[in-house]
Structure 1
Amino acid sequence: MTQGEQAEHQVVITTTDGEDAAGVLAKGIVGARLAACVQVVGPIRSIYHWDGEVQDDQEWQCWIKTTGDRVAELTEWIKANHSYDVPEVVALPVLGGSPEYLAWVTCETRRN
């Protein structure tokens, strides 16, 4: 990919402070057709710098399967519906995979 080029499919990662919060986010994202699937993984241990200190917290991670053209709207949705002041939103390009699965992701992220 060249600079500025966007992958057709993306995996977006965010974290939450609880399993229930992750489930609410996941259902909202899929319900809004911003992703075909969200997998919730956790608990995980996150160590990070925040408010001038090193934090050590338990979090749940959401792996969000979507299309490149939905990432901007998905990012705004997460920011508007997340409990964190600055939620993690990291988009990773999908460089390959099952054509059938990727077609399903595309189909499920289209509004009816």
Structure 2
Amino acid sequence: MQTEFLLVITTCPSEEQAKTLAHALVSNKLAACVQISQGVTSVYEWQGSLCEEQEFTLQIKCLAQHYDAIELTLSKLHSYDVPELIAIPITQGLPAYFDWIKETTQP
């Protein structure tokens, strides 16, 4: 059974880019809400080097049916070669909140 709602997570190198992505997703009705965290420290390996960078995390609340369009939008607008993009199924929550997600993501 496929879940109707997703929490999609990505990170950006700047607050400016995070806001650009969030506005694109919400204004195109692909997401009901995008929360942008304050800077977090990410430690990772990239191209053989150990990296430590400040990033901004985006939590994107959306319908599962919009995932492909979200992935395409982020792939076009994101500055990373390989952006983090993780979708987590939401299996439970406040029904009124789910109704709001549906209402705000209709064309």
Q: Same fold (TM over 0.5)?
A: yes
Partners in 2 of 1:38 and 1:6 — Cα distance?
22
Query: Deviation string for 1:67-92 (max 9, x for gaps)?
Result: 01111111111111111111111000
Secondary structure at the aligned position of 2:70 is classed as helix
Shift of 1:51: 1.1
Secondary structure at the aligned position of 2:84 is classed as coil
Q: Which residue of 2 is the match for residue 48 of structure 1? A: 44
Query: Among residues 48, 54, 57, which one is paired with 1:58 in the alignment?
Result: 54
Query: Among residues 9, 13, 19, which one is paired with 1:13 in the alignment?
Result: 9
Q: Which amino acid in structure 2 is aligned with residue 55 of structure 1?
A: C
Q: Return structure 1 stretches of 4+ with deviation > 3 angstroms.
A: none
Segments of 5+ residues of structure 1 without an aligned counterpart are: none
Shift of 1:6: 2.4
Partners in 2 of 1:98 and 1:85 — Cα distance?
36
Q: How many residues align?
A: 107
Query: Deviation string for 1:30-66 (max 9, x for gaps)?
Result: 0111100000002001011101111100000000000
Partners in 2 of 1:36 and 1:109 — Cα distance?
6
Segments of 5+ residues of structure 2 without an aligned counterpart are: none
Percent identity, aligned pairs only, is: 36
Shift of 1:23: 0.6
